[in-house]
A and B are shown apart, each in its own frame.
Chain A
């Protein structure tokens, strides 16, 4: 039996993960990370601790007979995730805060506190598999293709890998819900959380306005142009756009228009037809490898956004940056999003698309 620190968000996935670890005979310690202060949201009242997720997690932990604690990681989370999120949009890119959180905040914090608490392992409710051997720990896609969350985990620091347990990696979401019902967990039928956890209003532009102030280039009107330079409309702030977006471009086009690019210097949003949206090459920065990195000319699989299929690619160059040539042209290759490199089911690593 080992002591396992499990991150519990109050949702069904991490609840079941904790329950499975208990069932496996581990000494389980539940923890909920308080990532940001909810005091700005009137509905949540004055206190940060009255948060629904924390209370749900406490109820589940109590039902499982395990201790539960709240870790305040607000300061780190604000610096590493929220500030980065805002800065990326301000620079015309589309951030991926869940990747930032996993890479910088959640797992690092879990590990350091896990060590302090005398734990042997740390666990979360991610749909991803982990395989431990004496020489190496490898991460594999979750078996449920719809839920697989390996896309978000390429940035994990290497020293964390041997500590990881992912109890849900071999389950489907339906099986997880079924487990939750059998265990009579109060969170069994809780709806899936879709929005970004620190954007409770659902509109990230509210957060940008709050953080950047009302007068900021990213939130000021600009021109919508074709790649030829022709002005075809106006927008109310480029931070409201992401590559591949159709909404918000106005009408009057003879065929559907998509965002092809954002030029923060001139505040232009470049649009074009669906054909123009495709690219055959991608450059990736801030690389992190969970195992031996691929070499030049190697053939790999790369996934360019969450839920997109991995496509075959060839390594053109790998140094500070990684440049990949895609086997088939891909739509909406978006700066700021992650490019995650796989070898079959195994996550090799990844980086931020530039």
Chain B
């Protein structure tokens, strides 16, 4: 059986160059960066070099880079820390949070939690499958309250690119902080924080050939974020704890590499994605390319498939055919609950079952063809059973 890993948006393998860059810091260059002796100086330098490398790859200054443990932590720090900082700055009004309806749960859940605790008011802004916001932003905060806006750069389930420059231009700069989860965007499309004028940005290593559990929160100079955990003051007191030097080095190297060869890698991924899309459109009548008419990141293909019923069963059958895919996002495995993203885009009564196929920089034509074949095989079997 030929196998095909078509779930690179869930995670993608670490690159050999990244492992090579990390290796010394997993082993003999072990000093604590906070130590003043030579061992500490060695790793402290590595950490700061990593910070500078990462910063330069996304158009930031080194002082704007906070290393954290992965994308979820970065989102939580950005949302909760950002809102609390607004609350300090504007003690007389409760901050508002505006999120798109298709945010990752690492943004929605902390935002919801803040609202439940009475710390903020949450507004969810609809987004269309064409990627438009349709003027909702302008009416979402008429009283001009201090406001944290969180709109993802690229949606993880559909690949949809949101009109972030529009979002960044919205509102009064003095009382609006804009955060974006760019986990699926960095290394796939050009991401430059200073050009865009974003305040907070989340990225994570394992989506772009870096190590798992290593993420970053970009905090534009002048923007305040309150810490969520407390300790020894590392990472400007925003992420205390002895630094993961190897992780930071690996993350920086991965971002640097991904950005350096972005054009060729993106072109390859787009070609593979389009090949897969064309085959599925040809084989499966009634197939819908989710957000197909909108700008998308090059590696994600989200398809609505008719007549197959439960997405979980479809994915299990696909796995038994040797093909890895996911149902929207991979974070809810086993639960098989409908995706809030697809519901937000296509309504609660959507009759199609959505699966996400995502390619990586090393995905081959053979893999794509096996994937297309397996999806078609399973679709045939399930739609025949549904018709019974």
Contacts and interface: CB of A to CB of B under 8 A. Distances in A.
Interface in A106-149: 112-113, 115-118
B334 interface: yes
B335 A71 contact: no
Nearest to A48: B335
A117 B335 contact: no
A70 interface: yes
A198 interface: no
A29 interface: yes
A178 interface: no
Nearest to A31: B316
B313 A117 contact: yes
A70 B312 CA distance: 9
Nearest to B334: A70
A45 interface: no
A72 B319 contact: no
A3 B381 CA distance: 15
Contacts of A34: 334
Nearest to B336: A72
Contacts of B317: 116-118
Contacts of B314: 116
A112 B385 CA distance: 9
Contacts of B313: 113, 116-117
B312 A72 contact: yes
Contact of B320 (A29, A48, A54, A112): A29
A113 B320 CA distance: 13
B341 interface: no
Contacts of B381: 116, 118
B368 interface: no
B265 interface: no
B316 A117 contact: yes
A72 B320 contact: no
Contacts of B333: 49, 70
Contact of B385 (A54, A67, A115): A115
Contacts of B4: none
B334 A72 contact: yes
A49 B312 CA distance: 15
Interface string A34-52: 1000000000000011000
A127 B19 CA distance: 51
Contacts of A48: 334-335
B305 interface: no
B325 interface: no
B382 interface: yes
Interface string B332-374: 0111100000000000000000000000000000000000000
Contacts of A49: 333-335
A247 B265 CA distance: 74
A115 B313 CA distance: 10
A71 B382 CA distance: 16
Contacts of B336: 72
A69 interface: yes
Interface string A48-88: 11000010000000000001011110000000000000000
A48 B320 CA distance: 24
B385 A69 contact: no
Contacts of A70: 333-334
Nearest to B321: A118
Interface residues of A, number: 17
Contacts of A67: 319-320
A67 B317 CA distance: 11
Contacts of A71: 312
Interface string B309-328: 00011101101100000000
Nearest to A115: B385
Contacts of A113: 313, 316
A109 to B, nearest CB: 10
Given A116-B381, A116-B382, A116-B385, A72 B335 contact: yes
Contacts of A117: 313, 316-317, 320
A72 B314 CA distance: 14
A69 B335 contact: no
A67 B318 CA distance: 12
A29 B320 CA distance: 9
A218 to B, nearest CB: 33
Contacts of B316: 69, 113, 116-117
Contact of A118 (B312, B320, B334, B335): B320
Nearest to A32: B334
Nearest to A29: B320
A276 to B, nearest CB: 51
A195 B200 CA distance: 52
A34 B336 CA distance: 11
Nearest to A54: B334
A55 to B, nearest CB: 11
Contacts of A72: 312, 334-336
Contacts of B312: 69, 71-72
Nearest to B319: A67
A115 B378 CA distance: 11
Contacts of B385: 112, 115-116
Interface in B50-101: none
A125 to B, nearest CB: 21
A244 B278 CA distance: 68
A34 B334 CA distance: 9
Task: Output the residue of A48, A67, A70 with the most chain B CB within 10 A.
Answer: A70
A117 B336 CA distance: 16
Contacts of B335: 48-49, 72
A112 B314 CA distance: 12
A268 to B, nearest CB: 45
A72 B385 CA distance: 19
Nearest to A117: B317
Interface of B: 312-314, 316-317, 319-320, 333-336, 381-382, 385
Given A34-B334, A49-B333, A112-B385, 9 more contacts: A3-B320, A49-B334, A54-B334, A69-B319, A70-B333, A116-B313, A117-B317, A117-B320, A118-B381
Interface of A: 3, 29, 34, 48-49, 54, 67, 69-72, 112-113, 115-118
Query: Which 6 A-B pairs give the minimum distances between C-beta atoms?
Result: A70-B334, A116-B313, A49-B334, A69-B316, A117-B317, A72-B336
29 contacts: A3-B320, A29-B320, A34-B334, A48-B334, A48-B335, A49-B333, A49-B334, A67-B320, A69-B312, A69-B316, A69-B319, A70-B333, A70-B334, A72-B334, A72-B335, A112-B385, A113-B313, A113-B316, A115-B385, A116-B313, A116-B314, A116-B317, A116-B385, A117-B313, A117-B316, A117-B317, A117-B320, A118-B317, A118-B381
